[in-house]
Each structure stands twice: as structure tokens, then as C-alpha cells.
């Protein structure tokens, strides 16, 4: 029995030793190895505050500021202190009701959780963005008794012009999808939504900084953490030099006031866009600050569609402007020579097919056909191109014509530095088969020869055609940004330096250019709209519109030799090309080439500035 007690005593002593050993080891590990409690304590005493960089300032090609920044102030909250916030006071200051206050708080909780994933020390979240001056002043004066609230500055945009919104773009809050895919952004951050602001977002947003501060249990700042690894300054976005000429842009905006349409002007030898105008449009300053959301919703349901970017998304029949390209293709294919003529007896007739034409003398050669814009000439030329005996098959002939058209950048996006560009439509053989049946003939699609039927182009593509004609055979993809300071050898820079050549030999361009220069001579379709001391080369177009009056179109470049500007103008429901599109284009050419001088066409200018077509 004595041995039994002795054995139990030994077991008891051993158990006590083991328990104490485990306890000692645990204490040692907590003291020497596990610092999670220390980290938790430190985390509770630290707050990482995001320092927002200023976005890039945007300049025009002559160094004038177009878009700049201004300071705004956001209200942040530590959600755990919600119960201690003076709700009635905050509702009064922010001019909201309790339900709205609670909604803002719920959103703040979600933001706080998302922020902590990428920012371990930051338990605060955006509560209310863009305080008014009055709100900012009152809250700042009362911060000492508003536990869990603090104010942080950042910047919003200010636009120096009331137009150009479709080129410049605007900002909006980062979407949920963006927050998931790019850790740079936090809920409430502003990001480029359209235009230059969107396309160059990664450069223009700059680099955020961090300021880490000690805070007491009431979350009041008690000093900066003196460790460079916890603090680094924000880096502003680099200056962006756009290609736009702000004065030309403003004048184009005025000329299109009261009208529906688009103007795109390009420097031919560089592809730089000089003016980019859509009407109706909107003032980009309406999409900043507290009214951003309300203004956007209003524009979204506006029947005039001010958000619609006609210059790159609107597609139109090119009308007679396409005759310049068809003449070049005919010369390249050898079905005509510069002296080749076709007769016209009031239009083109082939069985039941009739394409009318305005009265004029004839027969006409290539130069005359462009000057007069003879429909019969181009119906005959179109058929001869695709019925060319050397192809012995109308579909092969048409495929060759399509290849030439596409070499002008038609039927696909030009590659401009904007998102959502339409490629227009150059019908393929497959499309024509589906539309007209498998056994179609050239006579059935002859309207393509005068820019009607299935062919559709954007205003930008038409401006690009004008640039190709100015360059006698090549283009550089149009673009809206000339330079980003400090950025070198980027893919986008190389893209906008590359020449794209058409399938047309340079020798053929002089004939067509000569015809375009005679458009302004007596009998030409734009007679009376030219500028006396500038040799402009242009082509009018009148595009049939199934929804109303025809559209007025015009493409041009100037001067004839060593061109400095190429342009396309479309005025919806404007009628003949010479009625509105040609005068507007020529006034813009004059303003660009003769800056600071009064117009030589004051009556024409007054008529364009005062005419209202939009309803």
C-alpha cells in the first residue's frame, strides 16, 4: 500500500512539472517569439493617411492650360466610433436626414473593410466627399468634439473651356470592378471615365503618398511616425501636352452652336488633332464636385444625347466625299486615266436603276468630275472597277476595291487615343451576299460609288481621308496627346509616329487634288465659300438621310502645297455640303492659317454663327 501511494505521488509531481514546463515555454514564446499582441497594440496606435497626388495638368499645343486642379476636402470616419458621433449636428451641417446619414455610415463600413485589406493600419473610410466651403468651415471648427472624424484634402478638375468634353473626358468614382482589379484605387477615388482622362489614366493619376501618424484612443493625431518606411510623399501626374489648339476649338464650338454634328481638324503630316467638336455636347465643369452624379443622370436621359461622341461613334453615309477615293482607285486600277470622260444626261440609268444628278455640262474628265461632283461619272467608274475584265468575277473585283478602301483606314478604327471608336462599315463580299443574294451584280450596288448604300464612316475617318489626300498617300493615326513630360519611348509614342501608306501610287494624287482645288471655282460645288488668299482643296458631300433632311458634309485641306490642316465637317440635316459644312470648314481653315486676323468672309461667318438647325 505504501508503494502505491508513493507511485501516485510521483505521477502527481511529474504532471505538475509538465504543466509548469508548458506554461513557462508559452510565456517564453510570448515574450521572445510571438509579437502579435505587440503588433495589435501598435496598429491601434497608428493610422495611415493616404496623400492624394494632383492629376496631370493638360495644356493645349501652344502651352495654354485647358484642364487644371483645385482643392477639395473629404470627410473621413472611424466606423467604430459611430455611436459617439453627434448625428443631429452632422445631419444639420451636411443638410441630410438621418436615413441618409445611416446609409453613408453603412457605405463607410464597407469601404473601411476594403481599405484594411491593402492598408493594415488604416481603419478609417470616406464618409462624405467634396465638402462645400461652409460645411468644411463648420466641421473643422468643431472637430475637437467630433470623435472619429477627420478631414483630408485632395483635388478635382477644373476645365478652362465649356466645350471639348468628348476629347478631354471627365472623372467619376472608381467602379467596383476597378477596385477589385487594381489595388491602387480605394473606394471614393476619382478616376478618368472618358476621353484623354481615361486613356492616359495610368500616367495622369500620379502616385499616392502615405502619411503615418500616432493617434490616441480618441483617434486624434499625436505626431508623425518618424520612420521613412512609413511615410513618402505623393507624386503629381506629369504635365500632358495635348494636340488641340484651344482657340481653334473654341471657334469651332461657336460655329456649331445651335446645330447637330461634328468637326474634326487634323495636322496632316503628324496626325495631331487640332479641333474635336461634337454638338450637342456638355460643359465638362458640370461633371465635377457634388453635382457630378446628378448632372450625369440628367445628361444620360437627355434626348439630345450630349454624352454621345459623334466624332468617333457616329456613322454616316459619306456621300460624294468618297468620290475622291474612288477616283484614286480607278486611276490605280487602270480603268481610267486623268483625261477619261463619262457623259451625264441628268443622272445614271441602268434598266430600273436611276441615280439622279444635278444639271451640268459634259462630258467631264477626272478633274471636272470632282469639281462638279457628277454622280453619273462615279456610278460608271464604280461599275468599271469591280467589273474589270482582268478579274473576270464581280466579287473578286469588289474584293480588290474593298482592299483599296481599307488601306485608307476605312472599315476599322483609326487608332485614336480614345476608347469606344467605331470602325464604320465597308461592306464585305459576305455582307453583300446576305443583303442582295449570292448572284448580285455591280448595277445592284452602284450606290456605293456615290457614298450611299451600306458604306458608313465616322467624322474622324472622313478627316483622315482629307489628311491622306493632303499627304498624297499616307496617314499617321490621329491622336489627341502630343507629349507627356518625362515619358519616353512608350508604345503609344511609337504608334503615333508610324506612317500608314495606302495602296495608291503617289503619282495619282495630283489629279484628284487639282479637282479638289477647282471645287471653289465658278461652277464648282463649293463656289462662293472659299477664302481669297488661301488655296483650299475640298470636296462637298450630301448624304441621304432616311430620318429627315439630308446631311451636309465637307472634307478639305489647305494650303494645296505643304498642307497644315485637314478637316471634316458634318452638319446633320444641313442639306447640301456647300450650305453649312463647307462654309464652317473654310472659316476654320482661315482662322487656323491666319490667326488674329478678321475673317475675309464676314457675312458667311455671321450666318454660320447665328443659324440654328437643332430642334
pLDDT digits (tens, 9 = 90+) for 281-296: 999 999 988 788 889 9
Window from 46-60, 209-223, 554-568 with minimum mean pLDDT: 209-223
pLDDT of residue 39: 46
pLDDT of residue 2: 52
The rounded percent of the chain whose pLDDT value lies above 90 is: 63
Position with higher pLDDT, 412 vs 117: 412
Q: Which CATH number fits domain 47-241: 3.40.50.300, 3.90.1310.10, 3.40.50.620, 3.65.10.10?
A: 3.90.1310.10
Burial bucket for residue 599 (CB in 10 Å: 0-12, 13-18, 19+) = middle
Q: Is the pLDDT of residue 79 over 90?
A: no
Q: Is the pLDDT of residue 60 over 80?
A: yes
Q: What is the residue extent of each domain of the chain?
A: 47-241, 246-281+310-610
Average pLDDT for residues 451-472, to the nearest whole number?
97
Window from 22-31, 57-66, 201-210, 432-441 with minimum mean pLDDT: 22-31
Q: Is the pLDDT of residue 30 over 70?
A: no
105 falls in which pLDDT band (50, 70, 90)? confident
pLDDT of residue 319: 96
In angstroms, how far is CA 401 from the centroid of its own chain?
31
Which single residue is written with the C-alpha cell 455671321? 606
Strands 65-77 and 149-159: antiparallel
3-class secondary-structure state, position 120: coil
* Cβ count near 542 (within 10 Å): 26
Say how far apart CA 505 and CA 509 lie, in whole Å: 8
Q: Where are the beta strands (DSSP E) in 28-89?
A: 46-51, 58-59, 65-77
Looking at residue 572, the DSSP 8-state letter turns out to be: T
Say how far apart CA 340 and CA 323 lie, in whole Å: 15
Determine contact, residues 463/264, Cβ cutoff 8 Å.
yes
Average pLDDT for residues 290-305, to the nearest whole number?
90
47-241 shares its CATH topology with 246-281+310-610: no
Q: What is the mean pLDDT of the chain?
A: 87
Which single residue is written with the C-alpha cell 510565456? 27
Q: Is the pLDDT of residue 229 over 70?
A: no
Say how far apart CA 210 and CA 228 lie, in whole Å: 10
44 falls in which pLDDT band (50, 70, 90)? low
Q: Which CATH number fits domain 246-281+310-610: 3.40.80.10, 3.10.20.440, 3.40.710.10, 3.90.50.10?
A: 3.40.710.10
Q: Is the pLDDT of residue 569 over 90?
A: yes
Q: Is the pLDDT of residue 71 over 80?
A: yes
Position with higher pLDDT, 272 vs 344: 272
Q: Phi first, then psi: what are they for 135, rounded to 5°?
A: -60, -45
Window from 37-51, 90-104, 561-575 with minimum mean pLDDT: 37-51
Q: Is the pLDDT of residue 224 over 70?
A: no
Say how far apart CA 427 and CA 407 lie, in whole Å: 14
Give the residue ranges of DSSP H helices in 256-374: 292-301, 310-313, 323-333, 366-372
In angstroms, how far is CA 12 from the centroid of its own chain?
82
378, containing H or E segment = helix 375-386
Cα-trace Rg, the chain: 34
Average pLDDT for residues 187-199, to the nearest whole number?
93
pLDDT of residue 153: 86
pLDDT of residue 492: 73
Amino acid at each position: 500500500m505504501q508503494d502505491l501511494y508513493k507511485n501516485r505521488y510521483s505521477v502527481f509531481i511529474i504532471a505538475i512539472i509538465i504543466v509548469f514546463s508548458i506554461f513557462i515555454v508559452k510565456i517564453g514564446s510570448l515574450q521572445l517569439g510571438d509579437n502579435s499582441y505587440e503588433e495589435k497594440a501598435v496598429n491601434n496606435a497608428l493610422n495611415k493617411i493616404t496623400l492624394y497626388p494632383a492629376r496631370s495638368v493638360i495644356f493645349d499645343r501652344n502651352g495654354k492650360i485647358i484642364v487644371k486642379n483645385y482643392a477639395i476636402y473629404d470627410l473621413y470616419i472611424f466606423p467604430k466610433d459611430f455611436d459617439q458621433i453627434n448625428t443631429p449636428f452632422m445631419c444639420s451641417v451636411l443638410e441630410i436626414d438621418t436615413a441618409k446619414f445611416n446609409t453613408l455610415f453603412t457605405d463607410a463600413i464597407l469601404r473601411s473593410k476594403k481599405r484594411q485589406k491593402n492598408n493594415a493600419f488604416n481603419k478609417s473610410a470616406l464618409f462624405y466627399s467634396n465638402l462645400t466651403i461652409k460645411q468644411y468651415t463648420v466641421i473643422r471648427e468643431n472637430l475637437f468634439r467630433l470623435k472619429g472624424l477627420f478631414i483630408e484634402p485632395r483635388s478635382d478638375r477644373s476645365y478652362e473651356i465649356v466645350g471639348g468634353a468628348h476629347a478631354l473626358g471627365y472623372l467619376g468614382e472608381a467602379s467596383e470592378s476597378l477596385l477589385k482589379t487594381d489595388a491602387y484605387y480605394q473606394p471614393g477615388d476619382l478616376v478618368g471615365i472618358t476621353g484623354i482622362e481615361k486613356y492616359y489614366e495610368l500616367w495622369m493619376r500620379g502616385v499616392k503618398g502615405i502619411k503615418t501618424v500616432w493617434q490616441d484612443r480618441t483617434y486624434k493625431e499625436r505626431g508623425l511616425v518618424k520612420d521613412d518606411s512609413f511615410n513618402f510623399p505623393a507624386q503629381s501626374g506629369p504635365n500632358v501636352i495635348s494636340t488641340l489648339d484651344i482657340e481653334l476649338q473654341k471657334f469651332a464650338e461657336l460655329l456649331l452652336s445651335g446645330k447637330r454634328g461634328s468637326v474634326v481638324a487634323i495636322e496632316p503630316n503628324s496626325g495631331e488633332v487640332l479641333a474635336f467638336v461634337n454638338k450637342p455636347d456638355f460643359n465638362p465643369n458640370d461633371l465635377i464636385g457634388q453635382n457630378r452624379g446628378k448632372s450625369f443622370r440628367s445628361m444620360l436621359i437627355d434626348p439630345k444625347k450630349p454624352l454621345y461622341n459623334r466624332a468617333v461613334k457616329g456613322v454616316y453615309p459619306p456621300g460624294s466625299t468618297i468620290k475622291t477615293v474612288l477616283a484614286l482607285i480607278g486611276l490605280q486600277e487602270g480603268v481610267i486615266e486623268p483625261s477619261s470622260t463619262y457623259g451625264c444626261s441628268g443622272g445614271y440609268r441602268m434598266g430600273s436603276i436611276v441615280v439622279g444628278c444635278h444639271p451640268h455640262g459634259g462630258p467631264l474628265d477626272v478633274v471636272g468630275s470632282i469639281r462638279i461632283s457628277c454622280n453619273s461619272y462615279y456610278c460608271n467608274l464604280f461599275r468599271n472597277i469591280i467589273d474589270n475584265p482582268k478579274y473576270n468575277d464581280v466579287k473578286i473585283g469588289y474584293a480588290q476595291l474593298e482592299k483599296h478602301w481599307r488601306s485608307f483606314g476605312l472599315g476599322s478604327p483609326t487608332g485614336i487615343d480614345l476608347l469606344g471608336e467605331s470602325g464604320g462599315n465597308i461592306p464585305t463580299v459576305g455582307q453583300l451576299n446576305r443583303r442582295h443574294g449570292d448572284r448580285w451584280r455591280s448595277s445592284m450596288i452602284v450606290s456605293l460609288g456615290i457614298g450611299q448604300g451600306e458604306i458608313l464612316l465616322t467624322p474622324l475617318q472622313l478627316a483622315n481621308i482629307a489628311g491622306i489626300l493632303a499627304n498624297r498617300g499616307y496617314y499617321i493615326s490621329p491622336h489627341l496627346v502630343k507629349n507627356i513630360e518625362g515619358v519616353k519611348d512608350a508604345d503609344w509614342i511609337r504608334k503615333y509616329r508610324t506612317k500608314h501608306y495606302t495602296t495608291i501610287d503617289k503619282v495619282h494624287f495630283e489629279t484628284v487634288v487639282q479637282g479638289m482645288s477647282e471645287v471653289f471655282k465658278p461652277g464648282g460645288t463649293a463656289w462662293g465659300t472659299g477664302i481669297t488668299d488661301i488655296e483650299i482643296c475640298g470636296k462637298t458631300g450630301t448624304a441621304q438621310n432616311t430620318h429627315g433632311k439630308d446631311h451636309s458634309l465637307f472634307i478639305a485641306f489647305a494650303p494645296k502645297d505643304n498642307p497644315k490642316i485637314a478637316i471634316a465637317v458634318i452638319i446633320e440635316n444641313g442639306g447640301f455640303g456647300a450650305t453649312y459644312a463647307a462654309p464652317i470648314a473654310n472659316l476654320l481653315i482661315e482662322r487656323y492659317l491666319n490667326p488674329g486676323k478678321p475673317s475675309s468672309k464676314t457675312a458667311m461667318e455671321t450666318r454660320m454663327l447665328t443659324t440654328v438647325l437643332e430642334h
